[in-house]
């Protein structure tokens, strides 16, 4: 149920916004009134995916900021990947259905940092069609 005072946070590379990303934003927003999107740094994407993103972090950040579904868009922190959570203190953290990076220790880090955020795993939206790894190499438009 949506509560007006809840802040919701999602994380991702967002290397060319597509309907799957927009689905994540819409679904996450159902958990609160303010959607905060953390865009992965180029160095983080390379470390996690083994290759750099197609678009640099500033381009990806601007594209996310331009989404009418997003209230706040910020770049992640190099080094301490969980610091941005401390900075914004979200009530809910929504994870993509296949999101693995930095999620294995998420609950432990939240507890260690005294952050009382609910963690929600979102359902997929046509993953056979709208998954960045499938779309990679195509010019993706909204």
pLDDT at 98: 81
Instruction: Decide: pTM greater than 0.95.
Output: no
Average pLDDT over residues 55-78: 97
Residue 92: Cβ within 10 Å count: 19
- Mean pLDDT is lowest, of 41-50, 59-68, 94-103, 126-135, for 126-135
**Domain 7-130 architecture:** 3-Layer(aba) Sandwich (3.40)
Distances (CA, A) of 139 to 18, 54, 117, 128: 10, 10, 36, 17
Residue 137 confidence class, pLDDT cut points 50, 70, 90 = very low
Residue 141 confidence class, pLDDT cut points 50, 70, 90 = very low
Beta bridge partners of 74: 38
- What is the per-residue burial (b if ≥16 Cβ within 10 Å, else e) of 105-121? ebeebbeeeebebeeee
Average pLDDT over residues 22-27: 95
Q: What is the DSSP string of 59-120?
A: HHHHHHHT-TT-SEEEEPPSS-TTHHHHHH--SEEEE-TT--TTTTTHHHHHHHTT---EEE
Question: How many angstroms separate the CA atoms of 114 and 136, rounded?
Answer: 38
Q: Give domain limits for the chain.
A: 7-130
Question: Does position 26 have pLDDT exceeding 70, yes or no?
Answer: yes
């Amino acid at each position: 149920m949506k509560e007006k005072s809840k802040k919701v946070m999602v994380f991702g590379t967002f290397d060319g916004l597509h309907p799957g990303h927009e689905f994540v934003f819409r679904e996450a927003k159902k958990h609160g009134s303010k959607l905060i999107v953390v865009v992965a740094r180029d160095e983080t994407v390379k470390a996690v995916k083994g290759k750099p993103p197609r678009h640099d972090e500033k381009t990806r950040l601007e594209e996310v900021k331009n989404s009418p579904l997003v209230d706040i868009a910020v770049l992640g922190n190099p080094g301490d990947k969980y610091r941005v959570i401390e900075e914004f203190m979200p009530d809910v953290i929504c994870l993509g259905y296949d999101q693995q990076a930095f999620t294995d220790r998420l609950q432990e880090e939240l507890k260690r940092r005294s952050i009382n955020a609910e963690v929600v795993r979102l359902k997929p939206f046509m993953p056979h069609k709208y998954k960045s790894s499938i779309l990679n190499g195509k010019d993706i438009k909204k």
